[in-house]
Chain A
Amino acid sequence: MHRTGELYGQFQTLEQQKDSAALGMWVFLVTEVLFFGGLFLTYTINRHAFSTAFGVSSNTLDLWLGGFNTVVLIMSSMTMAMSVWAAQVGKKKQVTVFLILTLLLGTTFLGVKVIEYTQKFQHHLVPAYHFDITYHSNHPLATDKPEEIANEKEELEKAVDRKNPANDQDLNAHAQLYFSLYFGMTGLHALHMIVGAGLLVWLIKESLRGRFTPQYNTPVEIVGLYWHFVDIVWIYLFPLLYLIDRHR
């Protein structure tokens, strides 16, 4: 069983080992780009075809929660980068601190996602499961502001209005396409964050043993690469899912 920091048998030098680890993570991230890319392509084609439904659906998302999550993730990227820096300059305690901060921010993100998903279930916005895009406006919660509900109703009516050039007679069906993509893309993203959280837990454990030094901090660096990638996916998901047709 090899311990972190030692030279593995197949390599000639530690340099080669570090080089391989970094390249390996980068190549893996390439596969992730193409993996998410298929979803982005599906999104593009569907949004192009059903822009009205996508606009209406996007407006049902809570912009405050989405925006908050975006800020949280960006900050977690910062703390992740700082943990790499701390390892590079030999500040071992700070490595652990920044890793824990990253984990906390990541968990906050996931917690908010749980809240959002629960809301979707409550508002009948889960595809193929009693889906009804008009449910929320017809059954407002006590916490909803009346003028927002009125806005929502108006938007829905305008969307199906035959006199409107952008009308969509199959709003419910097409809105389900949006929400299938919403759950698919954010769900896949959340899965990646959970994996990232697991990796952070392992890193925190190792950092508490003082394993990461200026000479050896490869695991922190490559988990960092993974974490930043997951952040980048969200940087695209946020405007594409939350900010369609907000000006209407």
Chain B
Amino acid sequence: MSEHIVSPKVYAVILTTLLVGTAVTVWAAYQNFGSLNIVIALGIATFKATLVVLYFMHVRYSPKRTQLVVVCAVVWLGIMLALTLTDYTTRPPNGRLSTPRAIQTFQA
């Protein structure tokens, strides 16, 4: 089986990109982008993770089966998160997750 050998130069580029990405993440955290903060943070993290998967883990050069396995893992995690959030995000607005104070006064 011809194995695609990734050159150290590519690795160096990826490493640099990852380090830059880390710095950008920290910088962005100190800016007030409102509700976009979390989007940016997760977006950069996903970008970094993708680079690690594609290049350090050789998925870019792997057979389709490996790529399918990676996609499935992400999709299933997505299913778990998305479908659970369909519950939490569509509940009536007055409902709170918990009211410990209320329980405490009730017990008093």
The minimal Cβ–Cβ distance linking B105 to chain A, given in whole angstroms, is 12
Do B22 and A74 touch across chains, with their CB atoms under 8 A apart? yes
| A41 with B66, Cβ < 8 A, contacts A74-B15, A235-B49, A246-B30 known | no
Instruction: Give Cα A88 to B7, complex, Å.
Output: 10
Instruction: Give Cα A85 to B11, complex, Å.
Output: 10
Chain A contact residues, majority secondary structure: helix
Q: Which residues of B contact A78 (CB under 8 A)?
A: 11-12, 14-15, 56
Interface string of A26-64 (1 = CB under 8 A from B): 110110011001101100110011100000000000010
Of the candidates A40, A170, A231, the one whose C-beta lies within 8 Å of that of B100 is A170
Check: A247 CB closer than 8 A to any chain B CB.
yes
Do A44 and B65 touch across chains, with their CB atoms under 8 A apart? no
Q: Which residues of B contact A38 (CB under 8 A)?
A: 80
The minimal Cβ–Cβ distance linking B23 to chain A, given in whole angstroms, is 9
Of the candidates A33, A67, A71, A235, the one whose C-beta lies within 8 Å of that of B48 is A235
Chain B contact residues, majority secondary structure: helix
Beta-carbon nearest neighbor of B44 in chain A:
A239
| A236 with B29, Cβ < 8 A, contacts A34-B77, A44-B81, A82-B11 known | no
Instruction: Give Cα A38 to B80, complex, Å.
Output: 8
Interface string of B93-108 (1 = CB under 8 A from A): 0001110110000000
| A235 with B5, Cβ < 8 A, contacts A44-B81, A74-B22, A78-B15 known | no
Check: A213 CB closer than 8 A to any chain B CB.
no
Q: Which residues of B contact A23 (CB under 8 A)?
A: 65-66, 69
Check: A228 CB closer than 8 A to any chain B CB.
yes
Interface string of B28-59 (1 = CB under 8 A from A): 01111000010001101100110011011100
Do B97 and A232 touch across chains, with their CB atoms under 8 A apart? no
Q: Which residues of B contact A232 (CB under 8 A)?
A: 49, 52-53
Check: A133 CB closer than 8 A to any chain B CB.
no
The minimal Cβ–Cβ distance linking B36 to chain A, given in whole angstroms, is 11
Instruction: Give Cα A26 to B49, complex, Å.
Output: 16
Of the candidates A15, A18, A236, the one whose C-beta lies within 8 Å of that of B49 is A236
Do A44 and B85 touch across chains, with their CB atoms under 8 A apart? yes
| A228 with B29, Cβ < 8 A, contacts A27-B69, A37-B77, A239-B45 known | no
Of the candidates B56, B73, B84, the one whose C-beta lies within 8 Å of that of A41 is B84
Q: Which 3 pairs of residues, A with B, have the shortest CB-CB distance?
A: A243-B29, A239-B41, A49-B97
Binding site for B on A (CB under 8 A): 15, 18, 22-23, 26-27, 29-30, 33-34, 37-38, 40-41, 44-45, 48-50, 63, 67, 70-71, 74-75, 77-78, 80-82, 85, 88-89, 169-170, 173, 224-225, 228-229, 231-232, 235-236, 238-240, 243, 245-247
Binding site for A on B (CB under 8 A): 1, 3, 5-8, 11-12, 14-15, 18-19, 22, 25-26, 29-32, 37, 41-42, 44-45, 48-49, 52-53, 55-57, 65-66, 69-70, 72-74, 76-77, 80-81, 84-85, 88, 96-98, 100-101
